Structure 1
Amino acid sequence: MNTKVEKNSNFICQIINKDFKKNKELSFRTRFPPEPNGYLHIGHAKSICLNFELANIYKGKCNLRFDDTNPTKENIKYIKSIKNDINWLGYKWHGKTHYTSEYFSQLYQYAKELIKKNLAYIDQLTKEEIRIFRGTLTTPGKNSPYRNRTIKENIELFKKMKRGEFSEGEACLRAKIDMSSSFIIMRDPVLYRIISTEHHQTQKKWCIYPMYDFAHCLSDSIEGITHSLCTLEFQDNKSLYNWILQNTSVKKYPKQYEFSRLNLEFSILSKRKLKILIKQNIIKKWDDPRIPTISGLRRKGYTSSSIREFCQKIGVTKQNHLIQFSILEHCIRKELNQTAIRTMAVLEPIKISLYNLDENHKEIFIVPNHPKNPELGTHEVIFSKTIYIERSDFKEKYDKQYKRLKLGEEIRLRYAYIIKAEKIEKDKHNNITSIICYCDLNTLGKKPKNKKNPAVIHWISVKNIFPAEFRLYNQLFTTKNPDQKKDFLSYINPESLIKKKGFIEKTIAIKINKNITDKNEKLYFQFERIGYFCIDNLDSKKNQLIFNRTVSLRDSYKI
């Protein structure tokens, strides 16, 4: 799929173009700076595609830097998953992996520099007192009683913090800016706090850690980032970003530009809320196919190219709006329509007995794996006296609007004959156990004489069945914008996952079983008239196949 980004495709490109006109020797460099406190989601994919594609088209470089400034929430497993997701999306970062923790010594010196300029001080208000003193959007803040400490006293106290002579919450370093600023973030923000937790990179070397806003801009400068791209919720933070750079002796001055974050229908993208879903066992893990994490989408059957196509299609703007989920579905459906192998599966089987065929009747039809792509080959379909169809493809009572099999009416079996339902058998609970049909052996590949062509349904011969589980994934939430609901857990869709026990064609299952041990190879199928499915590599075992529905056949997205 074509996912190339053009130089004039968005407002950020236009900014970069102007920067290159001013400085033709500009060494363009951007970065993707995830916090290793959770798995990446579709919103991160938008940022990844933007930063890495810009580096490609402007012949620049894109760094991967983990902003690891809070060891209480970070984990090595998140670092590994983030790296894996970026590689899977098709991108490679420049040089080695960077960590903000690499720069802790430099950041500490920059903090001391602010203290020496009387632009930072050690505060000993509690966290709650700091919040109260900061004021609100309508009322200015109040100066801390510790704000006027001498430079010498602040330096000594900062050293004591570094040596671990204060407990958590007992002291912090704050910038000395303006407690009456219209930007609350500029009301003496905290720059350093004490955390008595071992760090996954620096172990026990540090017990003070820089805040994200302090570390972020300085790390950008240290790495020579020219364009620091972030989402709109960091727009106010730009004031602090620039204040820190202006008041420290940095050698390089990156510029921050904001774009709208991705908001996706029926989805939660907050890592904090995703953790709640996992903790409450609403979803199993970060790779649950019902959530839009990259690993969840991958497990559901989305390809890297379909996600890149989606990110290109929605574009980059400064306007926040809710993106239709159908756009994402359109991108994967468009791709799988060209690549997925066609086969037949029955998710809720009901038996059909063709009474005019012999018990030993067996025919083999060679059918294409894809009607428009002969390179995908063919496979065998077995036809016999007893077959299975979908329970929903038969209706006992007459219904003029119903276009599938019903008593006294005809239907064509895909790739095979026209059959006519003449009788049904039921159990003692009045459930249909079998449909007795006549098979017209003169209709293979032929139109019925003096009749309209009947509708076509899929089927599987009892001699060609292989048991399988089918997982039908629907939206996890019943409201379009659950992220805006305080009680978002009240909108969980009870039918977000429906499991079915049915059959696939044995001739296809044999091929799948040969590759089931390869967890990296994704096998995609279009189960005719049902939808696009992929094999679940994690839960499937040999002879115990599980299929995840990636997307339905119907495309509701309007181009």
Structure 2
Amino acid sequence: MTEEKSLNFLEEIIENDLKAGKYKSIITRFPPEPNGYLHMGHAKSICLNFGLALKYGGKTNLRFDDTNPVTEETEYVESIKNDIQWLGFQWAEELYASDYFEKLYAFAVMLIKKDLAYVDDSSSEEIAKQKGTPTQPGTNSPFRSRSVEENLTLFADMRAGKYKDGEKVLRAKVDMAHINMHMRDPLMYRIKHAHHHRTANNWCIYPMYDFAHGQSDSIETITHSICTLEFIPHRELYDWFIKNLEIYPSHQYEFARLNMTYTVMSKRKLLQLVNEKHVAGWDDPRMPTLSGVRRRGYTPKSIREFCEKIGVAKRENLIDVGLLEFCVREDLNKISQRRMVVFDPLKVVITNYPDGKSETLTSEDNTEDANAGHREVPFSKEIYIEQEDFMEVAPKKYFRLAPGQMVRLKSAYIIKCDEVIKDVSGKITELRCSYIPESKSGSDTSGINVKGTIHWVSIPHAVKIETRLYDRLFKVENLGEAEGDFKEYLNPDSLQVQVAYAEPAITSAKESERYQFLRKGYFALDPDSSKDKFIFNRTVTLRDMWAKEAKK
């Protein structure tokens, strides 16, 4: 009998709300600002919002928080939509905060009429001084006492474009002595004469996040507005606007965002890496963006599994990136097609194999999947093996190739090393081996047992490929505790480009498929590839190499 999984705190809240009849069904939303590409932190939020709605028979809206025309672009809108669908989710409605600009303006007018908002001519520096400090109350703006009629006229003039950027703002009239700094007459609107990606030049005033967010939730009748912990101080203002506007009472709940080792999750810092060309772009496979991990070869299933494993907490913590890599390996091991690829080739000549002959052998496509079938692998007199699979002076328990020692070639024959050929400098250039004809895999009648099996590639049939060996972008575990510029901690070995030699089945590779290069790692075909040049990105090593380093 399987043990029933305990509910997280959000599931408990939702189940209690549904049992109490507070809602007939739940509505959540994912509200990204279209000013950059989504990253793994967003993946957690996506899985949470969409997952809760799916579990409880509700729905999730995709709402773009497009209230800052200076930083937002249609390119980001499209990338966000692609990422969500790639993760395996579909929104109920595609909405935009800009859909509500007229309604939000009417809400602002309503608060002015209630004498709960006023137009302020103070500069941003003056407003900051008026706010006071967490231990000292603020001071009222000299414009706080303007009449309702004057504020209505000034606000209409702001909309009409009569003032320059920064010349006036609209503020809520709350309490300049409030213990919560966010409640000290917060800004509701600012003037920005800028082209908006959807509303063009129709508006020159734009609502602040705190005024747009809760009201958009209310308009959409969002039952559970789920945010990260940094929005806890904003909740009181969220509720204040809804109460004073007397609109649908959406409620905000907070959970801990994703912080991961060896990674930054700040859009600002990620943008810096892109702009300063520390990475090749937003979809660089070293980036924690969803477009980056997708290009690297991560699967949607592995990311959803990772988000499920880390759970939902109320307290910030640091998640080991090794857990994400574990989830990726678990999934890739089940679905990856196996291929033999040699990275550091050592030539082997099989002296008793007929000259000019080649034969077609078969090898399992995926040893973890009985239905995966087999592929054809050519075999010939000359093959490549890995340099590391031969030792001229081998220790006792070395089961790969050595002088006088036997080893099995994967899906092929047993060979024995008879002679080592070196150049004038003493470097090994070639091995001369003999094979046991009766030892063919699948029909071995030789009676010879060997403990070692190595991969190989037939030289006449080998396909030259480019491999991009990606590793962690940063070399320190917790960047939050690192001093100085975060870019000082970039890992100089996060990308190594290497030529390798693959079996010819590699030429049928597709971007949608995943591959395990035997004994080397998991790889995915890069979009930069062409029919004349195959490029593969290493998604993850077969084992956690960083854990091994940490133990040294």
TM-score by length of 1: 0.91
State the partner residue of 2:83: 85
Unaligned ranges ≥5, structure 1: 1-5
Kindly tell me: are residues 203 and 424 of structure 1, through their superposed partners in 2, closer, same or farther at Cα, counting changes over 3 Å? same
Q: Secondary structure at the match of 1:193?
A: strand
Equivalent position to 1:104, from 93, 98, 101: 101
Deviation at 1:93, TM superposition (A): 1.0
Q: What displacement does 1:393 show?
A: 2.4
Q: Counterparts of 1:100 and 1:121 in 2: how far apart (Å)?
A: 23
Are the equivalent residues in 2 in contact too, given 1:413–1:419 (CA < 8 A)? yes
CA distance in 1, matches of 2:425, 2:127: 70
How far did residue 15 of structure 1 move?
0.5
Distance across 2 between alignment mates of 1:455 and 1:484: 46
Kept after mapping to 2: 8 A contact 1:382/1:463: no
Determine if contact 1:333/1:551 at 8 Å carries over to the other structure. Answer: yes
Pair 1:316-2:312 in alignment: yes
- Which AA in structure 2 matches 1:194? I
Q: What's the counterpart of residue 66 of structure 1?
A: 64
1:119-268 alignment runs, 5 A limit:
119-250=116-247, 252-268=248-264
**What residue number does 1:22 align with?**
20
Match of 1:327 in 2: 323
One-letter amino acid matched to 1:249: E
* Alpha-carbon distance between aligned partners in 1 of 2:415 and 2:22, rounded to the nearest angstrom: 73
Q: Which amino acid is the alignment partner of residue 370 of structure 1? A: N
Q: Secondary structure at the match of 1:395?
A: coil
Does structure 1 residue 56 correspond to structure 2 residue 54? yes
In structure 2, how many angstroms separate the alpha carbons of the residues matched to 1:405 and 1:132?
76
Shift of 1:8: 5.7
Q: Is the 8 A contact 1:134 1:187 kept in 2?
A: yes
Is the counterpart of residue 554 in structure 1 residue 525 in structure 2? no
Instruction: Say if 1:391 and 1:143 are closer, same or farther in 2 by CA, change over 3 A.
Output: farther
| C-alpha separation in 1, matches of 2:281 and 2:493 | 18
Q: Which moved more, 1:435-444 or 1:182-191?
A: 435-444
Letter in 2 for 1:94: A
Offset of residue 85 of structure 1: 1.1
Among 503, 512, 520, which residue is 1:522 paired with? 512
SS in 1 for 2:371: helix
Look up the SS of the partner of 1:236 in the other structure: helix
CA distance in 1, matches of 2:276, 2:428: 40
TM-score under structure 2 length normalisation: 0.93
More divergent stretch after superposition (174-183 vs 276-285): 174-183
Asked if structure 2 preserves the Cα contact closer than 8 Å seen for 1:363 and 1:384, the reply is yes
Bigger shift: residues 361-370 or 57-66 = 361-370
What residue is the counterpart of 1:491 in the other structure? 489
Relative distance call for 1:227 and 1:24 in structure 2 (3 A) is closer
CA contact (8 A) 1:348 1:500 kept: no
How much has 1:19 moved relative to structure 2? 0.9
| 1:337-356 superposed matches below 5 A | 337-356=333-352
Relative to structure 1, the CA distance from residue 557 to residue 339 in structure 2 (aligned partners, 3 Å threshold; closer, same or farther) is: farther
Q: How does 1:22-41 map to 2 (within 5 A)?
A: 22-23=20-21, 26-41=24-39
Question: Can you list the C-alpha shifts for 1:362-400, whole angstroms capped at 9, x where unaligned?
Answer: 232212112242321111122222111122323345445
The answer on 1:389 being equivalent to 2:378 is no
Are positions 1:539 and 2:528 aligned together? yes
The sequence identity of aligned pairs, in percent, is 48
| Aligned-residue offset at 1:120 | 1.7
Relative distance call for 1:168 and 1:400 in structure 2 (3 A) is farther
Q: In 2 relative to 1, CA 330–145 (structure 1 residues): closer, same or farther, beyond 3 Å?
A: same
CA distance 1:177–1:403, change in 2 (3 Å): farther
**Relative to 1, partners in 2 of residues 1:375 and 1:361: Cα closer, same or farther, differing over 3 Å?**
same
Size of the aligned set, in residue pairs, is: 541
Query: Counterpart of 2:266?
Result: 270
| 1:433 corresponds to | 429
Question: Any residues of structure 2 matched to 1:411-450 within 5 Å, and which?
Answer: 411-427=407-423, 431-445=427-441, 446=444
Contact 2:285 2:292 in 1 (8 A): yes
Tell whether the 8 Å contact from 1:329 to 1:551 is kept in structure 2 after alignment.
Answer: yes
Distance 2:154 2:270 in 1: 39
- How has the CA–CA distance of structure 1 residues 24 and 204 changed in structure 2, closer, same or farther, with 3 Å as cutoff? closer
Report whether the alignment pairs 1:467 with 2:456. no
* 1:188, distance to aligned residue in structure 2 (A): 1.6
Tell me how far 1:425 sits from its aligned partner: 3.6
The alignment yields a C-alpha RMSD, in angstroms, of 2.3
Deviation at 1:408, TM superposition (A): 4.5
1: distance between equivalents of 2:196 and 2:423? 65
Residue identity opposite 1:553 in structure 2: L
Deviation at 1:150, TM superposition (A): 2.3
Quote the Cα distance in structure 2 between the aligned partners of 1:14 and 1:144: 44
Q: Deviations over 1:515-550 (max 9, x none)?
A: x5xxxx5121111111111111x1011131111111
Relative distance call for 1:229 and 1:86 in structure 2 (3 A) is: same
Counterpart residue type for residue 169 of structure 2? C
How far did residue 459 of structure 1 move?
A: 0.6
Shift in CA distance, 135/391, structure 1 to aligned 2, threshold 3 Å: farther
Measure the CA separation in 2 of the matches of 1:430 and 1:132: 76
Corresponding residue number in structure 2 for 1:94: 92
Q: 1:313: how far off?
A: 1.3
The answer on whether the counterparts of 2:462 and 2:503 sit within 8 Å (CA) in structure 1 is yes
Q: Which residue of 2 aligns with 1:300?
A: 296
Deviations 1:407-438 (A, max 9, x none): 44433221223333344444466543323333
Distance in structure 1 (CA, Å) of the matches to 2:452 and 2:332: 24
| Equivalent residue, structure 2, for 1:3 | none
Amino acid at match of 1:524: R
Counterpart residue number, 1:369: 365
- Selected match of 2:45 from 27, 41, 47: 47
Q: Which amino acid aligns with 1:68?
A: D
Question: For residue 10 of structure 1, what is the amino acid of its counterpart?
Answer: N
Closer/same/farther in 2, CA of residues 124 and 24 from structure 1, 3 Å limit: closer
Q: Which residue of 2 aligns with 1:410?
A: 406
In the alignment, structure 2 segments of 5+ residues that lack a partner are 548-552
- How far did 1:483 drift? 4.3
How far, CA to CA, are the matches of 2:542 and 2:391 in structure 1?
Answer: 23
Amino acid of the structure 1 residue aligned with 2:150: E
- The answer as to whether partners of 1:347 and 1:503 remain within 8 angstroms in 2 is yes
Aligned partner of 1:9: which letter?
Answer: L
Deviation by residue 1:437-456 (Cα, 9 ceiling, x = unmatched) = 3334454345986x873322
Give yes or no for contact 1:7–1:13 (8 Å, CA) kept in 2. Answer: no
Corresponding position of 2:10: 12
Q: Label 1:391 to 1:469 Cα distance change in 2 as closer, same or farther (>3 A).
A: same
Q: CA deviation at 1:404?
A: 3.2
Query: Structure 1 counterpart of 2:214, which letter?
Result: C
Task: Identify the range of structure 1 (259-268 vs 413-422) with the bigger mean alpha-carbon deviation.
Answer: 413-422
Contact 1:330 1:557 in 2 (8 A): no
Q: Equivalent residue of 2:245, what SS?
A: coil
- The offset of 1:136, in angstroms, is 2.8
